[in-house]
Amino acid sequence: MDDPVTRILTHLERLEAEAIHIMREVLADAQKPVMMYSVGKDSAVLLHLAKKAFYPSAPPFPLLHVDTTWKFRDMYALREKAAQDAGMELIVHQNAEAKERGINPFDHGPLHTDMWKTEGLKQALDLHGFDVAFGGARRDEEKSRAKERIFSFRTASHGWDPKNQRPELWNLYNAKKAKGESIRVFPISNWTELDIWQYIMAENIEIVPLYFAAPRPTYIHEGGLFMADDLDRLEKTMGYKPEITTRSVRFRTLGCFPLTGAVESTASTLSEVVQEMLLTTTSERQGRIIDKDEGGAGMEKKKQEGYF
């Protein structure tokens, strides 16, 4: 007998093992699971973990992208490629009503997010009858998320009741639910932004190039710096042609291009991006406009209404 030699697992190895365990647990009770896929870096990590969890099988569920039609073109490109590489079906849902009414980030403010994202997600889940949806939310993103369970229960109308969530002990998850109810599952709840970047680096995960600095056409709108990913459309919607300046910029989070603030940067490699992230003094979500309304309780209110 050789001596037992303990091998100390790193924090990334343990976070990975936990996420894989969670994904596999979902399969035991779920009738029709789906993975919400936003094409961002957290989604990229989530997808990578799914591949690992079920290898050599392909992940036994489809990817769902709730599209707003306003995403960056680079995101649409990677979306198709990533699904194909993973051998997974890709479902793209666009809220038909939002499309018909021409809901856009400029004329409709918060309604844009509500209609395309919140309503769009509810529609997609109902339409396909998905009872469990994996999401890439993390507890460190925002104060109200710190108390979010890994298995988050939603009523038949997708509402979230913060007072009626199930305790999660050890690594035992209770995934039983009544007909009509659904669960959002967040396997990377315990990851921080730094963990995500370190993992992307260690595992060589492909992410949208927009995370790296490059000269891009930008404009200033209401004090924020944005990228003109589709200038014609911007002009059509805004009613005027914004003044374009080429700047070296990158993005810390990705969403709709007219809503996602760019940061001026020269960080063009992963380590430079992480370096910038560590030295920076503003939090990740600050680039996003949607969290700021409703004061400190903005995200919590959105969650109660069904935003994932």
Residues 201-240 binding another protein (CB under 8 A) are 201-202
CB of 86: closest distance to another protein in angstroms? 11
State how far the Cα of 191 lies from the Cα of 202, in Å rounded to an integer: 15
Residue 300 is a binding residue for another protein (CB under 8 A): yes
- Select 238 or 277, whichever has its Cβ closest to another protein: 277
Only segment of 30-38, 194-202, 241-249, 257-265 that touches another protein (CB under 8 A): 194-202
Nearest to 54 by CA among 91, 31, 23, 83: 23
Which of 195, 211, 219, 227 forms a contact with another protein (CB under 8 A)?
Answer: 195
How many residues at the interface with another protein, by CB under 8 A?
Answer: 71
Residue 7 is a binding residue for another protein (CB under 8 A): yes
- Select 127 or 278, whichever has its Cβ closest to another protein: 278
CB of 74: closest distance to another protein in angstroms? 25
CA 244 to chain centre: 29
Only segment of 30-38, 52-60, 68-76, 206-214 that touches another protein (CB under 8 A): 52-60
CB of 96: closest distance to another protein in angstroms? 33
Nearest to 296 by CA among 142, 186, 162: 142
For 46, 110, 166, 299, the CA distances from 184, given in Å and listed in that order, are 14, 23, 13, 16
CB of 163: closest distance to another protein in angstroms? 8
State how far the Cα of 108 lies from the Cα of 97, in Å rounded to an integer: 14
Task: Tell me the two tokens of residue 191.
Answer: 């990851």
Cβ neighbors of 205 (< 8 A, separation 6 or more) are 44, 45, 48, 199
Nearest to 89 by CA among 120, 66, 61: 61
Residue 296 is a binding residue for another protein (CB under 8 A): yes
Q: Tell me which residues in 160-179 interact with another protein (CB under 8 A).
A: 162-163, 165-172, 174, 176-178
